[in-house]
Amino acid sequence: MENGITPKRPNELRHPDAVVYLVQEPTIPRRATQRKIDISPMMWWGEVRVLVERNQAPGFRPMEAYLQIYNRLAQFDPDRDFIAAVGGDTLGVMLTSAALREYGHEYFYFLRFERTRLPNGERDPSSGEYYPILAPLSHDVAKRALATFRNKAREFDDVGTEASVPTSHTPSRRDLDFGLDEH
């Protein structure tokens, strides 16, 4: 990992020892009409470890939350592990990014939930899959990733083998090898 990023191909999506660091444990619905958040699809990506419990509120106790998040991320490896969020206090996500940067990481892969499309085109909030997307923690990584991804999109267009990949699309592990180790 000479330049701080190891590109991933679709067949390298999941590491057998991967950990999914869930920023905050989902709350339990108070009413029967509220939907319970199912994190089981997230478990495919690795063992789920909670950074902040559901009864904690980073927005009210940010120093304590930061120290806990920082300590729980001590073994985080950006080439193996993932960060995920399913609601909760949004300050927790910001504190997680700050802790990763303090550890010297320049990027991480965030598991984004993509809801299933119904036949009528609407998205079903109760089903879907998680997809990892590259989240830069440095200006240099963002510039290199975006430039490389745009070049890959142009190659698709030139060959005409795939539908055009929008250049505004966020690079993800389900996309092509980004070539991020190249300058």
What gap in Å lies between CA 152 and CA 8, rounded to an integer?
14
Q: How high is the mean pLDDT of the chain?
A: 77
pLDDT given at position 77: 94
Spatial strand order of the sheet with 107-117 comes to 47-52, 19-24, 82-84, 107-117, 123-136
Q: Which domains does the chain have, with CATH numbers?
A: 10-138 (3.40.50)
Three state DSSP letters for 72-127: HCCCCCCCCCEEECCCCCHHHHHHHHHHHHHCCCCEEEEEEEEEEECCCCCEEEEE
- Given this model, what pLDDT does residue 137 score? 93
Residue showing tokens 């120093």: 63
pLDDT higher than 50, residue 9: no
Q: How many Cβ atoms sit within 10 Å of the Cβ of residue 82? A: 25
Query: How large is the angle between the packed helices 90-102 and 62-72, nearest 10 degrees?
Result: 50
| Mean pLDDT value across residues 87-113 | 92
Number of helical H runs and strand E runs in the chain: 3, 5
**If pLDDT is split at 50, 70 and 90, which confidence band does 61 have?**
very high
Determine the average pLDDT of the residues in 10-34. Answer: 71
Section 126-145 average pLDDT? 86
Handedness of CA 55, 58, 60, 61 (dihedral sign): positive
**Statement: residue 3 has pLDDT above 50:** no
Indicate the residue type of 123: R
What is the C-alpha separation between 141 and 29, in angstroms, rounded?
39
